[in-house]
Structure 1
């Protein structure tokens, strides 16, 4: 094995060892994909509730992978961790390949592999590590394909296509990559190369959209309508700063990468993506999770700039590598916070799983439940569920929200009047419904005036905990 291979192997092994301390900390949203996958396998269709064609997922390829897992009778929670760490390792390997292509050395591999945000996200059951791996390998293949402009870049096109099926913002990645090609080599050959690639991906995207419209009756996933309602710049600035403050070295490296693109032509291919994606995250306001998952795709690329900067300064001063130590100190606190977040997710998962299993065993199978975080509880309860944040409900997803963008990302839409007009048999509040104490729930603001006439608070013992919910009278 070459030195580069050993570098990848050791970095991934150390990273996975660190990840083991997080334990099973599956994010609640992951169970939405698991539910879609299970319904597909059992013949109910790629839906959240049987008979309701709503696309409440934004990661169809990831979800279909779990349809295979469930079809073989395997545990999606366990396999989400396996898949997450496998794609994490692929992303690290791809970072090494990218680094070699621009002469950035070994440091980028370690900046990516030991990022606690990326590590934790890879353990939480979502598609984030898969998407990062696809982005990185898309650029790896593109940097090779651009040297052969007379051929169709099938490898990079396949990766771009997979990315489109993994996250809805992937077409922006493709557009940015094509702009990077023209910056790298502004020529007739490059224009033809970009046009050929764009036609092929355009046809593929059109087919995907046609299938979506034919099945769900919408051109975009329902999650788009639920989560997007305008720009959220203030929230986006806070989101960006949260990542910059804990990853200063890679962001300084990003600035250096932009400047060095004037001299290193290959860096121009990634430049539009770096700038475009940062602007995109700023405008949409980021995400509610502390793992900065929307910015993880930038880490491997920004790490290239950081490494190039350190390598150059190391030739001028022996203190250059001391800068690395100083700049990564904020990550020490991030490791501690990531462990706390993982523990919270783990407790959350275990409690919600127990609650869902209790509902499955102690309520009639035709009962309908309503709640906000529609992940683990509905998955294990096996009951029809009204999604009160609207990811899986077309009416709520299109409910107007005053001052959209000022609240928690992805958790701003609601329509209690509509929800309770459907007369769910069981309502689970978002806060304080599962804990060590028995409490009597209070009616929430904005609920129908006749809510207490139709629902009664119930406290149910659940092991050492209590489940404080509402039953329809």
Structure 2
């Protein structure tokens, strides 16, 4: 084994070990004690997937409410199946999320190996490879989405493996079906992995003329199999060709408005990261324009363009890359470190050519600039984000998780198992309360998902997936036993709450309870005047 290979393995081993320690502390910081028990809880959208996973593992099928017509309120079928496996283990409900979090840390740790290899292949420089992997390892948004249970951890790994394989194939001028297989499986994890799939296919058709025919046949053929197969399943099982969340987020959301909102959050990300740092990687094209680097830019551009097209995500207000752009964060960091190194080298050559043989000068400068930039990349919405980054403050969303678990536990104490609850946040509360649930924002309700959007006047106030509700239907018609939360049109909700519901307090929490409902344990609550 060459000395450079030994050094590479040592560096990778050190980075993965350090990262796993960091991830372990991060995961511990997401936990909390409620009702005398320690809980590990995922990001609330991930808890929606966990509800489907639990129902599937318990034999009810891939359904939101057992015994009711199935609705596909998730966009990550293979991830739901993966989560279901943990529900077969002898773990308390409060600890199952921990297993998902650990798996996310493992996926991200493996991803560091491939990020290192991609950067090494591009730059043939161990320092660049190590720094790119370090930026990836400690980028807070990537950790937030991955270590709090979203499928991002697996998807970013699948994308990195595919990129690494394509770079190898381009370098050796050969064809391989593996990138298509991996990204095809990725569409089963989340259907919008079809975006990098099509980007890879399009790039290879254009820039790999020798293997164009094979890429077209295998690329289009496998895409048809993966997309066609899951579409047939959806039509058979759910009666719809697309997930319910597609209708929720995309219908009634005009293209121009989506593009404006997607562009707005992209520019906010640029501003947050610092315009110079965000645009700096594009200067790499001044130094080289071969197929390898063009491919990386194409992958990055595809994810950014898709984020703009769908109008971004719903949580950009916490800062950093959203779930779509976060998948390409490793590619961005590879290009960033490579470009900084090229600029430093060019300046050193211009000012003092004799510096170049002493690579340590260039490398030390590179390390200093990249580490300083890393702090800036993780300075998200405010100064508190840096404390979250260095693990001295609980991560984003944890305060809300504590509230949701407390609500769920109180609901179990004052209702029968048949009580129907209505919620805005449809993850942890339904999961831990184990009650039939009405999703007021429509992720798990096909009727609400197809209603008109309640678009706010300001582009910055738009939150995809949080703009549809119908209280005439959800409260006035369905009449849940408990209305836990309200969103948006409070006045319409109040009309029904004042007529059909009473306000009741239990253990410091106030709920709207359906009058005379047999599913409420009335002796436990205090009716408010």
* Alignment partner of 2:481 out of 422, 425, 434: 425
Q: Structure 2: how far apart are the matches of 1:296 and 1:179? A: 22
Does the CA-based 8 Å contact 2:117-2:129 persist in structure 1? no
Q: SS at the partner of 2:186? A: helix
Does the CA-based 8 Å contact 1:257-1:302 persist in structure 2? no
Q: Structure 2: how far apart are the matches of 1:373 and 1:218? A: 24
- Please report how far the alpha carbon of residue 325 of structure 1 lies from its aligned counterpart in structure 2 after TM superposition: 4.4
Cα offsets for 1:12-53 (capped at 9, x unmatched): 333333341433362111111111011111111101112221
User: Does 1:445 find its partner at 2:497?
Assistant: no
Q: SS at the partner of 2:506? A: strand
User: Does 1:96 find its partner at 2:147?
Assistant: no
TM-score normalized with structure 2 length: 0.80
- Please report how far the alpha carbon of residue 265 of structure 1 lies from its aligned counterpart in structure 2 after TM superposition: 1.8
Q: Structure 2: how far apart are the matches of 1:200 and 1:361? A: 50
Matches within 5 A, 1:177-256: 177-185=200-208, 187-228=209-250, 229-231=253-255, 232-248=258-274, 251-256=278-283
- Please report how far the alpha carbon of residue 77 of structure 1 lies from its aligned counterpart in structure 2 after TM superposition: 0.8
Matches within 5 A, 1:66-465: 66-74=83-91, 75-103=95-123, 105-146=129-170, 153-185=176-208, 187-228=209-250, 229-231=253-255, 232-248=258-274, 251-258=278-285, 263-289=289-315, 290=318, 291=320, 292-315=322-345, 316-317=347-348, 318=362, 322-330=368-376, 331-332=378-379, 333=383, 334-336=385-387, 342-343=394-395, 345-403=397-455, 406-420=461-475, 421-430=477-486, 444-447=490-493, 449-461=495-507
Alignment match, 2:56: 40
- Please report how far the alpha carbon of residue 255 of structure 1 lies from its aligned counterpart in structure 2 after TM superposition: 1.4
Structure 2: stretches of 5+ with no match in the other structure: 32-40, 349-361, 516-529
Cα offsets for 1:313-364 (capped at 9, x unmatched): 2323355555434433423544335569845532322332232133224311
Q: Structure 2: how far apart are the matches of 1:371 and 1:340? A: 32
Taking structure 1 as reference, are residues 311 and 63 closer, same or farther at Cα in structure 2, changes over 3 Å only? same
Q: Structure 1: how far apart are the matches of 2:130 and 2:211? A: 33
Cα offsets for 1:104-158 (capped at 9, x unmatched): 533211111121221222221111111111111111122234567775x342223
Q: SS at the partner of 1:29? A: helix
- Please report how far the alpha carbon of residue 388 of structure 1 lies from its aligned counterpart in structure 2 after TM superposition: 0.7
Q: Structure 2: how far apart are the matches of 1:159 and 1:285? A: 27
Q: Which moved more, 1:105-114 or 1:317-326?
A: 317-326
Q: Which moved more, 1:393-402 or 1:101-110?
A: 101-110
Q: SS at the partner of 1:370? A: strand
Taking structure 1 as reference, are residues 391 and 259 closer, same or farther at Cα in structure 2, changes over 3 Å only? farther
Structure 1: stretches of 5+ with no match in the other structure: 432-441
Q: Structure 1: how far apart are the matches of 2:265 and 2:13? A: 32
Q: Which moved more, 1:215-224 or 1:451-460?
A: 451-460
Taking structure 1 as reference, are residues 300 and 259 closer, same or farther at Cα in structure 2, changes over 3 Å only? farther
Q: Structure 2: how far apart are the matches of 1:29 and 1:80? A: 14
* Alignment partner of 2:21 out of 17, 22, 25: 17
CA RMSD of aligned residues (A): 2.6
Does the CA-based 8 Å contact 1:41-1:67 persist in structure 2? yes
Taking structure 1 as reference, are residues 149 and 309 closer, same or farther at Cα in structure 2, changes over 3 Å only? closer
Paired residue total: 456
Q: Structure 2: how far apart are the matches of 1:299 and 1:146? A: 22
